[in-house]
Amino acid sequence: MSKWIPVLVIEDEELVRKALKRGLQLYGFRVFLAEDGPAGLKLARDNKPTFILLDWMMPGMDGLQVLAELKHNEQTEHIPVFMLTGRGMIGDLDQAFEIGADGYITKPLDLGDLGRIVKAKWKKYKKVATAG
Domain borders along the chain are: 2-131
Dump pLDDT digits (tens) for 21-73.
988 888 888 999 999 999 999 999 999 999 999 999 999 999 999 999 999 99
Q: How far is CA 57 from the centre of its chain?
A: 13
Strand locations in 11-90 (E): 30-34, 51-55, 81-85
The Cα angle at residue 29 between residues 38 and 24, in degrees rounded to 5: 80
- Provide the 3-class DSSP secondary structure of residue 37: helix
State the fold for domain 2-131.
Answer: Rossmann fold (3.40.50)
Strand locations in 11-106 (E): 30-34, 51-55, 81-85, 103-106
pTM for the model stands at: 0.86
